[in-house]
Amino acid sequence: MALRNSGLIALFDVDGTLTAPRKGVTPKMLKFMQDLRKVVNVGVVGGSDLVKISEQLGSTVINDYDYVFAENGLVAYKDGKLVGTQSLKKFLGEENIKVHNIRTKMVEVLREKFAHLKLTFSIGGQISFDGGNDHEIYESERTVGHTVTSPDDTLSQCTTLFLNKQA
Query: DSSP 3-state assignment of 119?
Result: coil
Q: What residues make up the domain containing 61?
A: 9-156
**Number of structural domains in the chain:** 1
Residue 99 pLDDT: 46
Residue 89 pLDDT: 56
User: pLDDT averaged over the chain?
Assistant: 81
Active site residues: 13, 15
User: Picking from 58-72, 91-105, 109-123, which range would have the lowest pLDDT averaged per residue?
Assistant: 91-105
Residue 26 lies in a domain: yes
Residue 164 lies in a domain: no
Residue 4 lies in a domain: no
Residue 167 lies in a domain: no
Half-sphere exposure of 33 (CA within 13 A, CB side): 29
Residues of the chain with pLDDT > 70, as a percent, come to 75
Residue 67 pLDDT: 92
Greatest alpha-carbon pair distance for the chain in Å reads: 57
| CATH code: domain of residue 23 | 3.40.50.1000
Give start and end residues of each alpha helix (H) in 47-150: 50-57, 61-64, 86-92, 102-113, 134-139
The CA distances from residue 72 to 132, 142, 166, in Å, are: 6, 18, 32
Residue 155 has pLDDT above 70, yes or no: yes
Residue 163 lies in a domain: no
User: Picking from 37-41, 60-64, 89-93, 145-149, which range would have the lowest pLDDT averaged per residue?
Assistant: 89-93
CB 67 within 8 A of CB 61: no
Residue 57 lies in a domain: yes
Q: What is the pLDDT of residues 135-152, one digit of tens each?
A: 677 777 888 989 999 999
With bands split at pLDDT 50, 70 and 90, how would you rate the model's confidence at 39?
A: very high
Residue 96 pLDDT: 46
Ligand-binding annotation for 130, yes or no, is no
Ligand-binding annotation for 22, yes or no, is yes
Taking residues 23-38, what's their average pLDDT? 94
